[in-house]
Structure 1
Amino acid sequence: MPKCRIWDVEGRVRGKNLGNNKFQFDFDKEEDLQKVLLRRPCHFNKWSFSLERWIPTIKEDFPNSMMLWVTVMGVPTHYKKDETYRSIGGALRKWIKWMSRMAE
């Protein structure tokens, strides 16, 4: 469970590992759930995760991805070019070109 200082709902939420990298959290109060949902995306133990209210059927707009900011450090000078950053971005899925300018 995320530490109390992260969600501030200690003792009012229970978590269960459902397997297959899925977890279920049961909140005692709706306002606690809403407070946690407003703090998305969530981070715990050096992992980022998507937290969504469960609904019995998945809608078209149900989130299936998460935007993250990646800082690439230690790239040798002769590799600091778009091709290198495109390769790294491609491995992470979607590439945003302006990010490579920040590393130069």
Structure 2
Amino acid sequence: MSKVWNTTGWLEFSDMGENKFLIEFQKEEDRQRVIKGRPWSLDRWLEVFWLQVDNMPLAYMTQEVRLHVGKCAGKVLDVIVDQWGLGWGKFLRLKVEVHITKALVKSILKL
């Protein structure tokens, strides 16, 4: 990360669990530059987003369809389904990482 953030001092990472990390900087100017350099990314991926997809027919409220829809937006991390792999409600809900070099998907016409 020191190469990505172009720091002049050392960095120390500590795993804090649940995908959280503590980063210690040797130099205050490096810390300030990284904090002001948002949005942060790692390997060109932004933070995780929860997507809500409206107006899906009930027949498409399956985990398979959710994965297909999610892959159009980015890397699928989680889908909300019941124990049979089905979703209920007015919308699909899934968690994805969005790649910063691709445009956001506005709609998907065919599944």
- When normalised by structure 1's length, the TM-score is 0.43
Point out the structure with the larger helix share.
1
Point out the structure with the larger strand share.
2
